[in-house]
Every structure is written in C-alpha cells, then in structure tokens.
Amino acid sequence: MELKEYFQSYENYFWEWTTDEDVPDASGYNENNLISFPDIGAVVYRPYLIEILKELQPVGLPILSPLLLALYATNEGYLDIKGIKKNLRKHPLATHEYVKHLIRPAFQFLETLKSLHNNYKKGRNRVLLLQTIFKYASNNVSEKQSEYILNEYLRNSRKIADSAKKIEITVSKFSKDLGILVALNEKFSSSQMIIQVMKGNLEIAEIEEEVIEEETTIETDKDFIQELIDEPKTFQVGSLIKRIWSGLKIPMRHLSPGKQPIGGVSDMTNKGDFSRMLLSEFANEDEVFMNRIANNEALYIQREIPPEENVFERIILIDTSLKNWGTPKVLAFASAIAVIKHPKAHSECKVFALGQNSIPIKLDKVEEVIDHLNIVSPVLEVSQSLEKFFSEEYTEKDLEVFFITNQENLENQKLQKVIHENRDRLKFLVTTSAEGELNFYKHHKGTRKHVQKIMLPLQELWANPPKKKQQQDQKSDSLGRKIEVPMNYPLLFPMPQNKIESFLLDGEFFILSSKKQLLKTYLSDNYYNKNYYSQYKTHRGCEVLFEDISIKPRGQFALAKNKQQQYILCQYQPDKKLISKLNINTGEYSELNLSSRKIHHSLHLIYFNKKFYLWEKDEDWILVFDVESNSALDVKNKRDIQKNNEKADSELQRLFSYYDDKILSNYDKIGINDDHLMVISKYELYSTENESILLQRNKVNISVYAQKIKNKFVFSEGSEIITDSRGILTFKSRNKTIPVFYLATTTDGFLAMASDTEFGGSEFYLPENTLLKIKTVSHMYSEYLEPFIHQIVEYGTEN
C-alpha cells in the first residue's frame, strides 16, 4: 500500500480533507491539514493524526476510515454519532446487500467507545486505548509497509494533496471499512471489556463468543461495590460498605400524614378510633351506641389518610480537613457511599467535599472515588465553609443534610456553633474515628439524639486485599521497587558525560554511552555555517536507539551498518588480541582471535568504506575486516583511509567540544520552597524574563518535601515526580486535568519542558522530526508547572 492509497478520500463519504488556514503546520505544508466530517465538524488535525499513526505503527497501521471514526468517538465534548450514521445511510451504496447490514453493529461499537469514562480517552490513555482495539482489527497494514508510509509522509508531506482529490468509492472499500468495526464490536461487546484488556487483566482469546446485546449504561449497586473491593486503591472503602448496610438505621424514606383540611361533612367517616368519635354518638343509649359501633355506623372525624412521602433534597458533606485524613476519611467515604447506594435509597443525593470551600463531587464510578479520596484541604477545621454552605450556597429549608467528620473535630467550639445554628437543616451528623467507630446522630426538634453506633472490625475487613496491588504505572510499592523509565521521551536527552565512544557514520553522529546505550545526536541545518555554529552551538541532544547492549566497556569500538541497514558494533581488545562484532538489532555475535598474528600495539580500530580496519597511518600493512563476513586480511595502507579518519575525528571534536553542561542526575531531594518554586536537589527551577528556564542555587527555605522511594518522589497529596539518571524528570499530578509533562535537568545552560503534545524551551532538546507544538516557556510554565505546584500547595501538607 502506498501513501496516496492509505490517505485517499472518497466522494460523498463521511470524511474529507479540509484546510484550516488559521492553524499553521510544523511541516511547512499548511494545505489539507484537517480531516472533518461534512455537516458534523472537525475531527483531527493532520499533525496529531500522524502522531497517533506513529504510536500504532508497531502493531501495523489500521485502515484510516475506521480509525477516524474511533478518534471521533473518543473526542471530548458533544458527539453526534447518530448524525454520522444518518449521513452514511444516505450514501448510494448504503443500501447494497453487502453494506446495509454492517451499519448498525459498526456504530454500536462507536457508542461503546463513546461510553468509556473520560480518563480512558485522554493523553497516553487514549493512545493505549487505540493500540488495544486496533491490535485486534482486521486488514491492518503490515509493520514494514506502515513504516514505509510514515517515512514517505515525513519526507514529503505535500503528497497528501494527491489523496485529498476525491475518487469514487467501491462496495468492497465501503464494506471493508464498516466490517472492521463490526469485527471489533464482536470482540469488545462492552466498554468494561475494553478496559480490562487495556489493563492486561483479560486476553482477547479468553472472551467467549456471545450474542451481541445493547449495552446498558445502568450498573447495579452490587456490581459497583464489588468493583470498589476489587480495585486496590478503593478496597478499604468498598469492604466497609456492606457491613455498614447491615447495621444502618437511617431512614431511607420519610413518611408523614397527608395534609388534608379538618372539618365539614366531607371530613366525616364511619371508621376510626374512640378519640375521633363525634361527641353526639355518646348521647345514644348503650344498646344503640354498641350497635352503631358494631355495624360501622358511628361517625368519626378526620379519617385516616395514607402517608405521603416528604420530598427533601438529600446532601452529604464530607470533611476533608487535615484532622479527617487517613482512616477517618476512608470511613467517611464508605459511610457516604453506603447512604447513596443503599438498596432502599431511590432519591438522588448530592455530595460535597468541605475544605476551604465546598467542592461538588461524584461517587458513582471507581475512578471518581479514587480521585476524591486524595482530596485534602490544608485547613484544620471546616466551620467557615460549613457556615458559608448554609448561609450563602444552600439557603432552602427543605434540605436533609448529612455532615460526616472526625469525632475529634466536634470539640472545636466554632464548628459546634455552626452545627447548632443550622440544626434544623443538618438532620444527621456522622462521626468517624481511627479505631473504626461510626456514630450517627439525628437533630429532631432542636435537640441532638444519638441514633446508633457501628464498630467496624477494620483488621478483619482489611485482612485480604486484592493480590494485584498496583498498576503498571505505579511499580514502586512498599518494598521500594524502582520504577521503569521509558527508552525515550518527547524531548531529547542531555549529552551524556560518560561515554565509551563517539562515531560519525554516514554523516550522522552516534554515542555509545557508559550505560550501554547507543544514542544518536543531531546538528542543525546551519552546521556548515562555521560562524553561526561557533556562536550559537547548533547541535542538539540525544535520542536512544538501543539499550542494554551486551558489551564490556573495554578496548576500542567502531560502528557500521550492514546491507540490511542493521547496526554492527565492532570491538577490539588489544590485551586479548580479540576482535568481535555484535549485530545490535538482532543480538548476533561473532569474534575472531588474532593471537596467532603479529599486531603492532599502535594499531587502533576504525571504520571506512564498509570495512573495519586495525589501522595506523605510519604502518605499511594493516588488517581489514569485512562488515558481513568474519575473516581478517592484510592489505596495503591507503591515503584515503587516513584522510577519512582525520575528517571524522575533526567533526567529532568540533561537535562535542562546545558542550559542557553538567547533567543533574543525583536527585537527593525534591520539594517546593516558600516562593512556590520547584526545588530539585540544591537547585530551584526558575523561569527568566527572556523566555528561558534554568536551574539556579536555591536560597529559600523548603516548606514542602516529597518522599523519596527509589527513583520516585511522592508528595503528600499524591502527585509524583519520577527521576531518570540520564537527566529527565517526569511530572505526574494527582489532578488528572494537568497532563503528564517532562523536564530536562542540567545545572548549566537553558532547559526545556515538554508534554506529549507541546514543547517549550531550548531547542537543544527538540527532536529532529517532531510533531510537538512549539510554545513559549511562559506558556509551558503557566500551563504545566504552576498548576502542578499549586495542586500540591493547595491540597498537600507542609513539613
């Protein structure tokens, strides 16, 4: 398959290539930079589509049309999938016998994708989602052909113009596009199944064939409680709920007599008790009186009316102050969910987290419970926010408010005062304790009455947590295991200070680092302008091509490529008179013992014209080794070899002589100082006025420290910083609205920050072929680092 065929658009089809003139393209070609659905709107910009395709290339590129529908179904905001379906049915080929029966199940799969929680449709999770589903798609392009298509695009993005010219679509193409989604619908019959496969808890081969049913969006409370128990992060909350249910005496419905007026003939009845009998009945003689009662002829007033249900708005307030942290908070959330999800509770319930302010939260999904469990406010007590809630935010009288707090907090006089002043609307007060004790109080006619006490056996209930304690992205557990770091990041690595050897191969620069990685580094287009190069240092950082290379860092090295463009690393150990070759791509190894030959000690290993040489300029005869074979020959020394070697040495010396920035790799502490700046070891991260970011000596007191667990630093509110000794930090905020971002760390020179979509800072760290949107340092600082710090300062605890 060629590039034109892969990106080809069709007449009257559901998508087309368009141009957004307001959005420039980093490739320089601004035409056909957007794919949109007619009458629906924009779907995906070309740079982001290419970025997604790069992520999918290892499993083979999926056919473009189903991928576009999947991208649309996983977009944020309002989605008009029914509109796409309606437009598709208008196509002349939609009534064809090979097409019409495919539309409904294909769009059923899109509805399944749409129903996924937003957490699975953002950032890296979205990439993982697409990789998961299209791994099992049919008709994917082969991996080799996929690489060819992407490389062809990167060489000349203007070829998209040929694909933008619409051609007539065939029945075969139409049915293939829909058939891919139909097959995926059969494999993934529910959103929960997709999530389980994404997490690695379920293999697609284990999924039994079943009749495709319409997926329901309503899940039972029983299933939800079990999900909480099965999830390690919510196990403690989920395991308490049923035990609370078993002893809970809080009324789920409020019944009261109907409000019917008393008096008049219409209010009389022949049934009732003696207290309601008309006084005139007692004037009858005894026999008449008894007969009237026996025959239901006696008259009564205010007949009995079936009770009516009072309509109250139920609200639960959860204290998130510092004193309600830990076990009391777990009990608070378990109590709240027990009330909300009680089998007899049918009315809606609003939940607020009380801290410095009242924050509305939802506890309907496992992900929501995980996120909100980590909310902690820096205040000691919540009397101000509780008072504001009743006086400004919710002033209605028909409220039934539950306030859940730690038993110790009731000793605070301010909090006591607010509770007492609002006792008419604060119907229930629930207190928790670190020992597992729950106390329920009810306010009735101005007095507080103790309803019940529940003592939860925490050790018994929490004795058997789920075996799978942590997910893939949180490998550092209580045992302190080191978190794995990726081979590369969206930004380049600083130049390694400890390297085994440097190479110039086919005009490209490579480094064999002491960490046994093969790195590739770059020069800008202005490299051959010597003045510019000398003044502005136009070289770039490094990307890792291979890691964990099986070598011993001794002797001499040379690098070459074979006919298959695989990297061959040659090593010469003079003391052993041993020369070896390692195919880095395949791991194939061969060696040749030269102990039988007389080799001068001054010979050293070089590469020239597809051959390795043991060479010295003053020697008449030298040894040559073919890259492909495993033999040595004596050949006559040539002047060309010397000239090439001198040129390579000169180029390498010029490249590396300008770089002297020291990598910050030993991260002994990370925190936030009193100026709300990030502190890394003994340096603070500082944004300058000239749109640069750098590390400088910290001279301010550090108020918030992160706990170090191997190569991960964890703040009290849950945010993390993962360190990489190669000079990169990964920032993961507990606030999911803040994307993961990365920072290069060197103690000298300007730095750079990047997310999975944006880059800002020194171009030294900008990859050669990148789809990242270039932003200013101030943008990166305000959009990523400042919110990250604010989250920790707002919800974390000071040391």
pLDDT tens-digit map of 736-776: 889 999 999 988 788 999 999 999 998 889 888 888 999 99
pLDDT number for residue 779: 93
pLDDT number for residue 214: 31
687 lies in a domain? Answer: yes
Q: Is residue 191 domain-shared with residue 46, that is, in the same domain?
A: yes
Mean per-residue pLDDT, 14-26: 80
469 lies in a domain? Answer: no
Q: Is residue 318 domain-shared with residue 406, that is, in the same domain?
A: yes
Put residue 444 in one of left, alpha, beta given phi > 0 → left and psi -120 to 50 → alpha. beta
Is 90 exceeded by the pLDDT of residue 783?
yes
Q: How does residue 251 score in pLDDT terms, banded at 50, 70 and 90? A: low
What is the rounded CA–CA span in Å between residue 128 and residue 109?
17
Q: Which two tokens stand for residue 87?
A: 């437009």
The residue type found at 372 is H
490 lies in a domain? Answer: no
Domain interval for residue 288: 261-304
Strand partners, 761: 752
Is 90 exceeded by the pLDDT of residue 362?
no
Is 90 exceeded by the pLDDT of residue 628?
no
Q: Is residue 599 domain-shared with residue 544, that is, in the same domain?
A: yes
Q: Is residue 36 domain-shared with residue 131, that is, in the same domain?
A: yes
Q: Is residue 639 domain-shared with residue 678, that is, in the same domain?
A: no
Is 80 exceeded by the pLDDT of residue 204?
no
Q: How does residue 302 score in pLDDT terms, banded at 50, 70 and 90? A: low
Q: Is residue 299 domain-shared with residue 356, that is, in the same domain?
A: no
78-82, 195-199, 569-573, range with the lowest pLDDT: 195-199
> Residue 26: how many CB atoms within 10 A of its CB?
14
Q: Which two tokens stand for residue 602?
A: 């001054």
> Residue 792: how many CB atoms within 10 A of its CB?
24
pLDDT number for residue 150: 87
Is 80 exceeded by the pLDDT of residue 525?
no
Q: Pick from 601, 624, 657: which residue ends a domain?
A: 657
472 lies in a domain? Answer: no
Q: Is residue 588 domain-shared with residue 677, that is, in the same domain?
A: no
- Of residues 127 and 786, which shows the higher confidence score? 786
494 lies in a domain? Answer: no
Is 50 exceeded by the pLDDT of residue 77?
yes
Q: How does residue 309 score in pLDDT terms, banded at 50, 70 and 90? A: very low
Is 90 exceeded by the pLDDT of residue 679?
yes
Q: Pick from 269, 304, 339: which residue ends a domain?
A: 304
Q: Is residue 300 domain-shared with residue 316, that is, in the same domain?
A: no
217 lies in a domain? Answer: no
Q: Which two tokens stand for residue 97?
A: 């016998």
Model confidence pLDDT, tens digit, residues 171-191: 878 888 888 888 888 888 788
Q: How does residue 524 score in pLDDT terms, banded at 50, 70 and 90? A: low
Is 70 exceeded by the pLDDT of residue 252?
no
What is the rounded CA–CA span in Å between residue 291 and residue 294?
5
Q: How does residue 624 score in pLDDT terms, banded at 50, 70 and 90? A: confident
Is 60 exceeded by the pLDDT of residue 166?
yes
Highest mean pLDDT among 451-460, 488-497, 591-600: 488-497
Q: Is residue 331 domain-shared with residue 455, that is, in the same domain?
A: yes
- pLDDT over 90, % of the chain: 13
430 lies in a domain? Answer: yes
Q: Is residue 281 domain-shared with residue 320, that is, in the same domain?
A: no
- Of residues 328 and 305, which shows the higher confidence score? 328
Model confidence pLDDT, tens digit, residues 255-271: 444 444 445 555 677 77
470 lies in a domain? Answer: no
Q: What's 429's domain CATH number?
A: 3.40.50
Mean per-residue pLDDT, 63-82: 86
Q: Which of 36, 35, 48, 23 is nearest to 127 (CA)?
A: 48
Highest mean pLDDT among 280-289, 308-317, 649-658: 280-289
Q: Which of 21, 6, 14 is nearest to 73 (CA)?
A: 14
Highest mean pLDDT among 38-42, 405-409, 557-561: 557-561
pLDDT number for residue 209: 30
Render 716-761 in DSSP notation, one character per residue: TTS-EEEEETTTEEEEE-SSTTS--EEEE-BSSS--EEEESSEEEE
Q: Is residue 682 domain-shared with residue 639, that is, in the same domain?
A: no
Count how many domains the chain has.
Answer: 5
Q: Is residue 747 domain-shared with residue 651, that is, in the same domain?
A: no
Is 80 exceeded by the pLDDT of residue 272?
no
Number of H helices, E strands in the chain: 22, 39
Taking all residues of the chain, what is their mean pLDDT, rounded to a whole number?
81
Q: What are the φ and ψ backbone dihedral angles of 505, each rounded to 5 degrees?
A: -130, 120
Mean per-residue pLDDT, 540-565: 89
